[in-house]
Amino acid sequence: MVGAVGAVFLTLLSTRATATVVIHEVAWMGTSRDSSEQWVELYNAGSRDAFLQDWLLINHDGSVSNRLHGRLVPGQTLLLAATTEDHLAGVPVHHILSGPLKPAGDQLTLLNGQGQVQDFIDQWHAGCSDQFATMQRVYPYTAGNHPLSWKTSTIRYDIGYGTPGFRRPPDYTEQELFRVYHDEGTINVYFNQSALIEWALPGNQANHRINLEERIIERIRQARHTIDLATYEINLPDTVEALMDRAAEGVQVRLLVDAKSPSDGERNARYRLMRLLLERMARGHDGRLGSPDSIQLFANSPIFAVMDPEERLSHGLPRVPRDLEEVTLDVGRGQSSGRLLVHGAEVSPGVFYGPGGQMHNKFLLIDDYRLLTGSMNLTITGVYGSERNRLARVPNGNSNHLLDIHSPTAVELYRDEFNIMWGCSGVQPCSQAALFRGAKPQGQIPHQIQIGDYDVQIMFSPGYDVVPRITDFVATEANTSLYFCIFAWSDSALENVIKQKWEGSPDDLEGEWTGFVLKGVFERLFWNQWWSANQNMTGRTADRASYNNPNIRWRNTPPVFRDRESRKLHHKYMIVDAGTAYNPTVITGSANWSRNANSVNDENTLFIHDGRIVNQFVQEFYARYEQAGGEVHTGEYRVRQTAPTGAPQSRHQNL
């Protein structure tokens, strides 16, 4: 039978060069999680919709016989997998593979509803069982059995090598995804720009050029009970759809966002888009406010609906939101009127916070075990850079990183912080009890927790004196080196402590280089701002000064640079004593190093004390540093391998 099918197929192939629907990828070897977790991916490589009603995917002995249904639009994939889950590596499983494929060799036939052969594979022409690397079509996706039509995938995904859910253009720069941990006590670090993996410790290459939205959506799809998201901005349509899908499936979704000033010209267009998407989430898939699939929204200040009828209709919203209450509220020092979309926190009964302070957090809590946080805003510019890049899935947005942490303890701490801003632990926000900015409890002590083998400190702003604690840590713990990538740095106390490390003096234009290694990259947007730390570091005299930003110039200019990224350098991280046995630490989170981030904005910060996590940040830092014009010299990274007698020892000696 198979021989006859193959002959028919070859005849069909001679009359058409390109198939419409092809068998695009076969994981005949399974996944690293389970060798029996095999999967097959179909792909519509044509220009028209394919209606799959009564199509069949069968193997040579009938042990696999899947009857298909539905519609496959151009560029879309369909996944058949031998799994008990509804997703495989974050990709929806459309059909359960009906039986096992033969790893030693098998054949697959795809038949349309009229029994005509659409695609046929006579044997496994590629793939690797040792590395769980799939057999994958070579562009331009022609049907056929020729060995050159297939390759062994070299693209890493969570549980092997392959591209389930393929939707990238053929010239896409592939993601360098080296490993993803799922177990409790693990931390995954993802960078959306390049990294220099030649600086990696053995088996510790940094995940880089990663589409951070895909990482987030995968975790959202894994939620079974609750999702709590605190985000400064959100305008990513796919993330919004993923949240709406989970809410429609019964997952409780609470969304805390930052309100913006209407006079903020830079962000006005993004803010309008965010408000339109917020209303979509508030209405859910059924379009009704307060329905079971509605996402619960809250903000630090009231948010009003966009009223332009054309904009509303283009996003599937009612032309006029008559079901939103029209109100006039006391907001900040004035009054604001409009259709109330998102309720805000009340300073006192009937009086709301103004939008001046920022709810600047970027963290996501999945059920009671997973935390995602970092520097990235959930925006098109933050992830992709442009709408064109978003449609092509090219993650060329602002330079950012994402931490993916499996820790019930960390989630509990972050959820407590979320509930402080939400006003309660319930589904509905409690506006009169909600605390933001300086209203939060002051004098808080950092949370010191264990996440697997990692020592971690977690703190929030305001209330924890985060920037002074960073300053104190540098003063007491930084022994040999400090690297940083920073979006905005105006805190002079932190700057002066580092000056003391660098040239042994806190005074203006005094000091000699001590041998301390200091390298850094500043966002170029603020390079010439009078308040930026780079002004004093480079020995320039700013055109003004203040009590918090005195002109204390450095005598010995350290190698710090303005960035040369394609978009903004949005990181906020500091690396202390990398490659040493002291206490290698990375400090990161949502907070810039400023008075506002410490005392006004709502932020989160983590200190991670671990040599291998630090090493991954070093790989990313060196890429940013070299791109900015700096030089990395062989040997400087490993300044000292052993600490002197009496120095604090790291718990993690895997350096």
> Cis peptide before 349, with omega less than 30 degrees from 0?
no
- Beta-carbon-side half-sphere exposure of residue 604 (alpha carbons within 13 Å): 28
Rounded-to-integer distance, Cα 275 and Cα 217, Å: 20
Q: What is the mean pLDDT of residues 242-269?
A: 85
pLDDT bucket at 270, cuts 50 / 70 / 90: confident
CA 375 to chain centre: 9
Q: What is the pLDDT of residue 264?
A: 56
Query: Using alpha carbons only, how large is the chain's radius of gyration in Å?
Result: 27
Predicted confidence (pLDDT) at residue 163 exceeds the cutoff of 90: no
Q: What is the pLDDT of residue 419?
A: 98
Predicted confidence (pLDDT) at residue 645 exceeds the cutoff of 50: no
Q: What is the pLDDT of residue 655?
A: 26
Q: What is the mean pLDDT of the chain?
A: 88
pLDDT bucket at 149, cuts 50 / 70 / 90: confident
Higher pLDDT, 548 or 231: 231
Cα three-residue angle 626-629-631, rounded to 5 degrees: 55
Q: What is the pLDDT of residue 263?
A: 59
Q: What is the pLDDT of residue 529?
A: 94
Residue-wise pLDDT tens digits, 14-24:
333 344 888 99
pLDDT bucket at 109, cuts 50 / 70 / 90: very high
Residue-wise pLDDT tens digits, 536-566:
999 998 888 877 778 899 999 999 999 999 8
Give the whole-number percent of the chain exceeding pLDDT 90.
Answer: 67
Give me 138's structure tokens. 């070579």
Give Cα separations from 449 to 364, 413, 453, 589, 649 (angstroms): 19, 10, 10, 16, 18
Residue-wise pLDDT tens digits, 357-409:
899 999 999 999 999 999 999 999 999 998 888 887 888 899 999 999 999 99
Give Cα separations from 650 to 474, 516, 535, 584, 655 (angstroms): 16, 19, 34, 7, 10
DSSP state, residue 437: G
Determine if residue 469 is left, alpha or beta; phi over 0 gives left, psi from -120 to 50 gives alpha, anything else beta. Answer: alpha
Does residue 480 contact residue 474 with C-beta atoms inside 8 Å? no
Q: What is the pLDDT of residue 609?
A: 97
Long-range pairs of 497-505 with CB within 8 A, sequence gap ≥ 24? 497/471, 498/474, 499/536, 499/537, 499/552, 499/554, 500/475, 501/474, 502/554, 502/556, 502/558, 503/554, 503/555, 503/556, 505/555
Residue-wise pLDDT tens digits, 76-108:
889 999 988 787 876 788 899 988 999 988 999
3-state secondary structure of 346: strand
Predicted confidence (pLDDT) at residue 169 exceeds the cutoff of 60: no
Predicted confidence (pLDDT) at residue 38 exceeds the cutoff of 70: yes
Higher pLDDT, 531 or 18: 531
The runs of H, that is alpha helices, within 464-573 are: 466-477, 492-503, 533-537
Q: What is the pLDDT of residue 634?
A: 61
Report which residue type is found at 145.
N
Q: What is the pLDDT of residue 543?
A: 83
Higher pLDDT, 420 or 122: 420
Q: What is the pLDDT of residue 171?
A: 44
Predicted confidence (pLDDT) at residue 477 exceeds the cutoff of 50: yes
Q: What is the mean pLDDT of residues 640-653?
A: 32
Predicted confidence (pLDDT) at residue 640 exceeds the cutoff of 60: no
Predicted confidence (pLDDT) at residue 467 exceeds the cutoff of 90: yes
Does residue 243 contact residue 228 with C-beta atoms inside 8 Å? no
Predicted confidence (pLDDT) at residue 120 exceeds the cutoff of 60: yes
Predicted confidence (pLDDT) at residue 251 exceeds the cutoff of 90: yes
Residue-wise pLDDT tens digits, 301-339:
999 999 999 999 999 999 999 999 999 999 988 999 999
Report which residue type is found at 533.
A
- For residue 343, list its beta bridge partners: none
Predicted confidence (pLDDT) at residue 647 exceeds the cutoff of 60: no
Domains of the chain: 2-167 (2.60.40.1260), 233-357 (no CATH), 441-628 (3.30.870.10)
Give the whole-number percent of the chain exceeding pLDDT 70.
Answer: 90
Q: What is the pLDDT of residue 269?
A: 82
3-state secondary structure of 499: helix
Predicted confidence (pLDDT) at residue 75 exceeds the cutoff of 90: no
Q: What is the pLDDT of residue 341?
A: 96
Q: What is the pLDDT of residue 499?
A: 97
Predicted confidence (pLDDT) at residue 141 exceeds the cutoff of 60: no
Q: What is the pLDDT of residue 137?
A: 84
How many C-beta atoms surround the C-beta of residue 339 within 10 A? 17
pLDDT bucket at 648, cuts 50 / 70 / 90: very low
Predicted confidence (pLDDT) at residue 143 exceeds the cutoff of 70: no
pLDDT bucket at 635, cuts 50 / 70 / 90: low
Q: What is the mean pLDDT of residues 70-74?
A: 82
Predicted confidence (pLDDT) at residue 139 exceeds the cutoff of 70: no
